């Protein structure tokens, strides 16, 4: 509602509304500046907080096929909602989950626990590709000619750029999934 974390240095005067301050040995100071003192901070010494457990970051090198194999082996859900589960992969949202599955030619409806290791390797490469800065221009959903910059996302009824099939839309776990059933068969 109010207040924010501010980054500065220990050489600067402390904001008079700083409610909590973390100072690092390199001189970095992180202050919670909250004029109305509405924020609360929880110190989790024992690792027992109710904060959600997060999986590996989508853009982290440590996200590999071995990790996904382990993280997905008990997931009795389809691969698309599994990829969006933050305890499996942190930071992969609806758009890029769909785009990565298209790149990997993987059916978003297939069972997460049954995806083979080679296919997971391909999926990891696809996640890296769709999140790469070249593919990911911030804030733009269309290119200069007004064409969607996504392969499948929000392209229901349009032609698949790989196989010429029609992009379909289904709902999985309450979210729209766009995919091409002609070429996403893996
Ligand atoms: Zn296709």
What are the per-10-residue average pLDDT scores of the chain (186 residues)? 83 94 94 89 75 86 96 96 95 94 98 97 96 69 67 96 97 97 95
Cα 73 to ligand 1 centroid, rounded to whole Å: 27
Whole-angstrom Cα distance, residue 64 to residue 120?
8
The 3-state DSSP class for residue 166 equals strand
What pLDDT, on the 0 to 100 scale, is given for residue 121?
A: 97
Q: Are 145 and 123 in contact (CB under 8 A)?
A: no
CB 186 within 8 A of CB 171: no
141 C-alpha to ligand 1 centroid (Å):
20
Span from the CA of 106 to the centroid of ligand 1 (angstroms): 11
Using a CB cutoff of 5 Å, list residues around ligand 1, an ion.
160, 162-163, 165, 180, 182-183
Packed helices 94-103 and 117-131: angle between N→C axes, nearest 10 degrees: 120
Q: Ligand 1 centre and the CA of 59: distance in Å?
A: 26
């Amino acid at each position: 509602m109010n207040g924010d974390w501010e980054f500065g240095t220990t050489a600067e005067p402390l904001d008079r509304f700083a409610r909590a301050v973390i100072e690092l040995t390199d001189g970095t100071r992180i202050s919670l500046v909250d004029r109305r003192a509405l924020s609360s901070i929880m110190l989790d010494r024992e690792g027992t907080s109710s904060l959600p457990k997060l999986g590996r970051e989508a853009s982290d090198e440590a996200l590999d096929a071995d990790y996904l194999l382990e993280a997905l082996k008990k997931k009795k859900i389809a691969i698309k909602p599994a990829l969006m589960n933050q305890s499996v992969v942190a930071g992969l949202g609806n758009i890029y989950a769909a785009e990565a599955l298209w790149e990997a030619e993987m059916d978003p409806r297939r069972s997460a626990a049954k995806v083979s290791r080679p296919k997971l390797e391909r999926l990891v490469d696809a996640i890296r590709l769709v999140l790469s800065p070249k593919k990911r221009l911030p804030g733009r959903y269309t290119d200069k000619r007004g064409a969607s910059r996504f392969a499948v996302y929000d392209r229901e009824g349009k032609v698949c750029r790989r196989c010429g099939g029609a992009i379909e839309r289904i709902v999985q776990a309450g979210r729209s999934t766009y995919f091409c059933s002609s070429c996403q068969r893996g």
